[in-house]
Each structure stands twice: as C-alpha cells, then as structure tokens.
Amino acid sequence: MIRRCDVKELDGRSYRCFFELTLQVVGGKWKPIILYHLWLEKVLRFGALKKTMPGITQRMLTKQLRELEADRLISRVAYNEMPPRVEYSLTELGESVIPIFQAMRNWGMEFEKSVAGELITGEHYESVDAVE
C-alpha cells in the first residue's frame, strides 16, 4: 500500500491532508473560542465577543474574524450608525464544525482525567472550561 503525501494548493492555501486543512481553517489559539461562543449566543457584537475572551487584543480578534469571514464560517453585518455596530454570527458552514469541537472537548476532558488520575492523588482538580 503506497501512501502519497503530495502538497495540495487551494485558494492560496497549501496542505498535505484534510486534517491539516481543517486545522488551518478552524485551528489556532482563538478561532475555536470565537466559533463556539457564536454558536452559543447566535449573534454577537464585536465588543461583546471581545468581552467573552479575556486576553485577546483588538487586533487579534479582528484578524481572526476576517479570516473566518473569508473562509465563510461566519457572516459580518455592519450597521451604518454612530457609534458603529457590527454583528457576527455563524454561517451554515460555521455551524458544521461545532460537533468536531465537542468531540475534541470531550477527548480533552478524558485526557485530563487520565493524567490527573495518574499524578499523586490527594490533589483536587477544579474543572473550569473557557467555553462553557
């Protein structure tokens, strides 16, 4: 059985397998959190989104949102008001990744349990997740 490992090019992106492609689109430090929060709240303004993500800078949030929009995972609606108002929400494509996040979330929980259980017992681990 021969395994190919060609590099594919699509729309200015290059990747060697679909896992890698998926990571490029929804991976990284912030994108999963953005998508998950949008899924929970349906619609969020820029400021509200920022408030749910302590630690992110405006520049970073804008950048991630632009990329997600370019990949059509989210839609952006700007109202011509003063002060400005911009609302973000998931597209259908964006909603379709949520099950993957949940699967990874669950796996991470199990992994944490198994690691914690292996460390010297007696310590108690609080479970506080960033997106629940």
Partner DNA sequence: CGGTATCCCACGCGATACTG
Partner DNA sequence: CAGTATCGCGTGGGATACCG
Smallest gap from residue 89 Cβ to a second copy (A): 18
H helix runs in 9-91, sequence order: 18-26, 31-41, 46-51, 58-70
Nearer to DNA, 48 or 130 (CB): 48
Closest CA to 100 of 40, 32, 53, 49: 32
Query: Which residues sit at the interface with DNA, rule CB under 7 A?
Result: 28-30, 45-48, 55-60, 62, 65-66, 76, 78, 83-86
* Alpha-carbon separation of residue 120 from 109, 110, 111, 124 (angstroms): 18, 18, 16, 10
Dist CA 76 CA 62 (whole Å): 11
Number of residues that bind a second copy (CB under 8 A): 55
**Where does this chain bind a second copy (CB under 8 A)?**
3-6, 8, 10-11, 16-23, 25, 27, 29, 32-33, 36-37, 52-55, 71-72, 93, 96-97, 99-101, 103-112, 114-116, 119, 125-126, 128-132
